[in-house]
Amino acid sequence: MPDTWRPKCAVCGAPSKWCCAFCGSNCYCDEHACNHLARQYPEEFGIKPRAEQREQQEREKTSKGIWLLLAIIAVIVILYLIGMHPGDGGYPN
């Protein structure tokens, strides 16, 4: 067995470059790579996203940022409210 052993392509048996967890952990060469891999790594496969896809990706990125900001604000507010309770448990007269 050679020192640089690599799994074989599930379609043609050539040395593989890609392994896909969604396809039952099958491995593929560049020529036979599955759609899952092509969608994950579009630059590697020379796929340019359409304008609609780019806009959708931008919207998703923006919405993730908004949710992250809201979560951070919520944590800060909760920590502030927890810190506001009276120290000795009693209220002044």
Q: What is the signed CA dihedral for 34, 39, 45, 51, rounded to 10 degrees?
A: 140
pLDDT tens by residue, the chain, 93 residues: 454 677 888 888 888 888 877 777 788 887 877 777 777 777 777 777 777 877 887 888 899 999 999 999 999 999 988 887 665 555 555
DSSP H stretches of helix in the chain: 35-40, 51-83
